[in-house]
Structure 1
Amino acid sequence: MTAKEAAELLEADAVQMSQIESGTVGVSAKRVRRLAANYVCTDEPLIEALVAMATDRTRGWWEDYRDVLPQAFLDGAEAEHHAAYLREVVIHYVPGLLQTADYARSVFGYTNPGLSEEEVALRAEHRMQRRAVIERDNPTPYETVVHEFGLRVHVSDRQASLTQLRFILDKIEARQVTVRVIPVEREHFAGAGASMLYLGGPVPQLDSALRDAPTGARYIDEQPRLEQLRTLFRRVQSASLDPTASRDFIHRVAKEL
């Protein structure tokens, strides 16, 4: 169906239809249902999930950073906020949702040497705000697999590393997160390439993922690619220690500092 044909079904013009498709303007529940009917979509859970997304006018905390941080920061925080569950694989660093402020500032400052102190501080502050998804009254289920290297690398000094590990242990003890560790000596682990964050949608068709790339994070929502990432997560998960053994492993790393 062409944009013109879809616009006629909505009693709109081509410009309005283009704006709806590009996400620059909102769309009503009535129009979502009309489009679904005309596109011969009969999946009611999917339609209702789309209606809920289209009519949500909540102003999230990330909007405070509009025009001061890149749009990708806002998009990522909003996606996490609405996710039904989160699954993450991180090799080189502590996962962002589990970073302390000192750790985050060190990472941003080192990997982005052109940033001013104010810009580094803003990015770290935004990262701390992201933790709301695992700290709110009804936290989003979050499971992460992190490599031993990511736990041992000192992005700052020894005390900052120790504080970081203790923070992770506190989150584990509070049952706010599930953390699995892959030890360096683990056999049959070929890595996961880049870090991956899998965001479960209200229905499987609305799942998405974020992968690190040289030019920045890349969103993925194509079903064949998502199935590959689900398989990859299961493989990485199977190579990791169970949650209890992982907690004990982190304790040992902390004691060695």
Structure 2
Amino acid sequence: MRGSPTGRQLRLGSELRKLRERAGLSSTEAAQSLGIKQNQVSNIEAGRHGVSPERVRTMACRYDCSNEALVDALAEIANGRARGWWEEYRELLPDGMLDLAEVEHHSVRLRAGITAHIPGLLQIHDHAREVFRQVVPELSPPEVEHRLSFRIKRQAVLFGEPPVPYQAIIHEAALHMQFGGPSVTARQLQHVLDMSERDHIQVGVIPFTAGAYPGSGQSILYAEGPVPQLDTVHLDQSHGAALICAEAQLGKYRMLLARIEDKALSPSASRDLILSIVHNL
């Protein structure tokens, strides 16, 4: 029996439960088919008990799952027992922040739609530090620095071999928010411009003139998994982060992001707008 399961371990258990339920099997019937105890099935599905890739494949077979790509992806999750860099923050930061880093690390593509902030993966130190200083309730200086170092380490996904493809749609309002004053803002926007020149990063800006659009009040990160069933949506809310993986909700957010992306300027026009804001600081 493991300690507190990570978000990825919980997701594996959840997906195995979905396969069992689609097969019309109770946990008792599944246990009988697998030759194990019913509480083992329950513990695996709850992420409380580890499961081998071989056991995952056996379970998928017993559940009549013919989606080989999904089975391979689930077996890969079961095989990934190495501790990620984010585990060093386990006692320092909320679990939701660690789960986000884990999701980003294992994603094959990231898409973000942001209204009021520069996306965390594109923030420079001074901008991010000022963002954390505005958290309510107020964070202590050490807590600010922990969150700051964690955010910067998350950005490694954009510099890996290979880097994760990243698309960020940012509302113009976020570009005018002067966290840390004009000088920091100018350097922050220049960093966004520099990052947008990388082949695997695309930045689009929704100008004020675009008017209303769906999802305008949310900050959305859509992390694509190796198969669509393992996609994850991260919502950054004032009361904490939320990870969403229900199929109907994933479909909703795919549609929502497509609508948001349609409102954005082209990458070149977006860079021109960002540059004009820098020049006016």
Which band: TM-score by shorter chain? Answer: over 0.9
Of 207-216 and 61-70, deviating more is 207-216
Which position in structure 1 is the counterpart of 2:201?
Answer: 177
Other-structure match for 1:216: 240
Per the alignment, residue 9 of structure 2 pairs with none
Task: Calculate the TM-score normalised by the size of structure 2.
Answer: 0.87
Work out which of the residue numbers 28, 44, 57 in structure 2 matches 1:33: 57
1:190, CA displacement in angstroms?
A: 5.0
Question: What is the rounded CA distance, in whole Å, between the counterparts of 1:85 and 1:32 in structure 2?
Answer: 25
CA distance in structure 2 between the aligned counterparts of 1:35 and 1:24, rounded to whole angstroms: 17
Q: CA deviation at 1:27?
A: 0.7
**For the residues of structure 2 that align with 1:210 and 1:222, how far apart are their CA atoms?**
12
Aligned counterparts of 1:84 and 1:14: Cα–Cα separation in 2: 35
Structure 2 residue aligned with 1:45, among 69, 92, 109? 69
**Aligned partners of 2:115 and 2:73: how far apart in 1?**
33
Q: Does 1:125 align with 2:145?
A: no
The aligned residue for residue 13 of structure 2 is none
Same amino acid, percent of matched pairs: 41
Q: TM-score, normalised by structure 1?
A: 0.95
Q: Is the 8 A contact 1:192 1:232 kept in 2?
A: no
Within the candidate set 82, 99, 108, 2:123 is matched to 99
CA RMSD of aligned residues (A): 1.5
SS at match of 1:111: coil
Residue 203, structure 1, aligned to residue 231, structure 2: no
- Mean CA deviation greater in 142-151 or 172-181: 172-181
Indicate how the Cα distance of structure 1 residues 33 and 191 shifts in structure 2: closer, same or farther if over 3 A, else same. Answer: closer
What are the ranges of 5 or more consecutive residues in structure 1 without an aligned counterpart?
Answer: none
More deviation in 237-246 or 14-23? 14-23
Partners of 2:92 and 2:135 in 1: CA distance: 19
Within a 5 Å distance, the mapping from 1:1-257 to structure 2 comes to: 1-189=25-213, 191-257=215-281
* Structure 2 alignment gaps of length 5 or more: 1-24
**AA matched with 1:165:** L
The more displaced of 105-114 and 119-128 is 105-114
